[in-house]
């Protein structure tokens, strides 16, 4: 029964993630921990499963023209640059011992994500000039979040792109490619560090989450960009508030 519940939750989380660029690790990690899984089992499992689903999302979004990953395109350049800077961030988060209390990290992620959601809603109808500094700076923060907690990546990277002038549909595809690189590097760090990998949980997440990708990509293709931007803004705010509710749990 628990495995069936995990599968359903993984499917829903991936639908949100591939459709809005966020929500898989941010929502799934705390739920799995509440279900009794060890954080050290949850984070690597999420990294591996999201690596697979992100690759599938990249291919599907490109095929549906939500994003253009052909050589030399702006989308590919941004995704590659984000992936490289995020690789640095996730290595720092996994390898370097983090000595700050867990509640401080939770508060930081929650406030940052919620604030970005509010900014997105406030600028939904505005044209924002592209900024490499914003994109790469927030990408570094997001990958640090991902390596520590398994979540907190998509909301920051999606929000950062949209606040840096990138279209919402393009941002979803770019996030998938950059996050795939981040997840691969993060998983390899855990593997080389000798951490236990729960392959049973990992397999369930992959099998349950991957089928959600084409449905989510089709949803993105048919949504109005301005309306979708508002949906993303609301989702980011909610994920930020959800993160803050974990403060009471330590």
Distances (CA, A) of 219 to 17, 130, 172: 12, 26, 12
The pLDDT tens digits of the residues spanning 146-194 come to 776 666 777 778 878 887 788 888 888 898 898 888 889 888 888 887 7
Q: How far apart are the first and last CA of the chain?
A: 28
Query: Smallest Cα–Cα separation from 178: which of 125, 142, 147?
Result: 142
Q: What is the average pLDDT across 104-108?
A: 70
Structure tokens at 11: 């499917």
Q: Are 152 and 106 in contact (CB under 8 A)?
A: no
Say what the pLDDT of residue 208 is: 95
Q: How far apart are CA 92 and CA 90, in angstroms?
A: 5
The pLDDT tens digits of the residues spanning 19-34 come to 877 778 777 877 887 7
Distances (CA, A) of 224 to 3, 131, 167, 228: 36, 24, 11, 6
pTM over 0.85, yes/no: no
Q: How confident is the model at residue 105 (pLDDT cuts 50, 70, 90)?
A: low
Q: Are 54 and 183 in contact (CB under 8 A)?
A: yes
Distances (CA, A) of 162 to 35, 53, 134, 167: 34, 22, 10, 6
DSSP letters spanning 216-234: HHHHHHTS-HHHHHHHHHH
CA 237 to chain centroid, in Å, comes to: 14
Residues of the chain above pLDDT 90, percent: 19
The pLDDT tens digits of the residues spanning 91-100 come to 877 665 445 6
Q: What is the average pLDDT across 40-55?
A: 89
């Amino acid at each position: 029964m628990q495995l069936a519940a995990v599968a359903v939750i993984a499917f829903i989380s991936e639908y949100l993630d591939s459709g809005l660029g966020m929500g898989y690790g941010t929502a799934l990690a705390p739920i799995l921990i509440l279900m009794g899984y060890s954080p050290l089992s949850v984070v690597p499992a999420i990294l591996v499963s999201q690596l697979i689903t992100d690759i599938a999302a990249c291919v599907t979004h490109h095929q549906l023209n939500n994003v253009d990953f052909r050589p030399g395109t702006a989308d590919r350049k941004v995704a590659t640059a984000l992936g490289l800077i995020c690789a640095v961030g996730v290595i720092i988060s996994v390898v370097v011992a983090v000595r700050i209390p867990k509640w401080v990290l939770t508060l930081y992620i929650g406030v940052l994500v919620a604030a970005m959601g509010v900014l997105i809603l406030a600028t939904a109808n505005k044209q924002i000039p592209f900024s490499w500094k914003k994109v790469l700076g927030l990408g570094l923060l997001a990958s640090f979040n991902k390596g520590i907690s398994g979540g907190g990546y998509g909301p920051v990277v999606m929000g950062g792109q949209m606040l840096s002038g990138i279209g919402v549909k393009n941002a979803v595809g770019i996030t998938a490619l950059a996050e795939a690189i981040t997840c691969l590097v993060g998983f390899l760090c855990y593997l080389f560090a000798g951490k236990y990998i729960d392959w049973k949980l990992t397999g369930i997440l992959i099998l349950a989450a991957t089928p959600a990708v084409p449905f989510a990509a089709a949803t993105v293709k048919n949504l109005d960009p301005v309306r979708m931007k508002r949906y993303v803004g609301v989702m980011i705010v909610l994920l930020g508030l959800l993160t803050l509710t974990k403060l009471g749990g330590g």
